[in-house]
Amino acid sequence: MVTAPEGSIGRVVIGAEELAQRVRELGAAITADYQGRPPLLVGVLKGAYVFMADLAREIDLPVEFDFMAVSSYGESTQSSGVVRIVKDLETDISGRDVILVEDIVDSGLTLRYLRQLLGDREPASLEICALLVREGAQTDDVKFFGFPIPPDFVVGYGLDVAEHYRELDSIMVFDPA
């Protein structure tokens, strides 16, 4: 039996209804910006998969999906400061309109790394859509974002700690023991 990490779930930071409304708004904004040029959505696994699935259904255009998996946290609640690719894209993105879909921008380290990596592959355009942006994080590169959040470690709606709590329908604070 797998046990949850030590700690507890705390207050709701963003509820399910608020998440759904903002995802609808982001889908409408992407639809308006990408008329005539259906985007390739590149989800950053595993955290962004719930957000990306909901977002794709709110974009009123044909979209294609691909995924990358990167790691900078491992099983910790603190970033290691080193980004490593666990799974790379299967799609050639050269000449494509690409939207990188992220669950959360914390320090911006992973985002900067992925923007450079994908930019070197010569897409026609590369934009960022992040559900959450940590207060104080660099957001200059984030064209579409859902919510600013405080420095608390959060879980739910795809976000986890040690692979737990992704299934929660709201964004909630995780308080380590």
Domain presence at residue 97: yes
- Identify whether 164 is part of a domain: yes
Report if residue 87 sits inside a domain.
yes
**pLDDT score of 12 more than 90:** yes
For residue 1, being part of any structural domain is answered with no
Tell me the residue range of the domain where 50 lies: 7-176
Backbone angles phi, psi at 169, to 5 degrees: -90, 0
With contact defined as beta carbons under 8 Å apart, do 135 and 151 qualify? yes
Per-residue pLDDT, 97:
98
Q: pLDDT confidence of 80, banded at 50, 70, 90?
A: low
The question of whether 106 is a catalytic residue gets the answer: yes
The domain that holds 81 is classified in CATH as 3.40.50.2020
Is 57 part of any domain?
yes
Q: Give the model's pLDDT for residue 141.
A: 83
- Tell me the pLDDT tens digit for each residue of 117-157: 999 999 999 999 999 999 887 777 899 999 999 888 999 99
What integer is the mean pLDDT of 155-175?
93
pLDDT tens column, 28-38: 999 999 999 99
Which pLDDT band holds residue 17 (cuts at 50, 70, 90)? very high
37-62 mean pLDDT: 96
For residue 2, being part of any structural domain is answered with no
pTM of the full structure: 0.90
pLDDT of residue 126: 97
pLDDT in tens, 88-116: 999 999 999 999 999 999 878 888 889 99
* Overall number of domains in the chain: 1
Residue 79: per-residue pLDDT:
52
> What pLDDT is stored for residue 137 in this prediction?
78
Q: Which pLDDT score, from 0 to 100, does residue 165 have?
A: 94
Q: Which residue has the tokens 């859902």?
A: 146
Q: Is residue 114 part of a domain?
A: yes
Name the catalytic one among 54, 103, 106, 160.
106
Establish if 160 belongs to a structural domain: yes
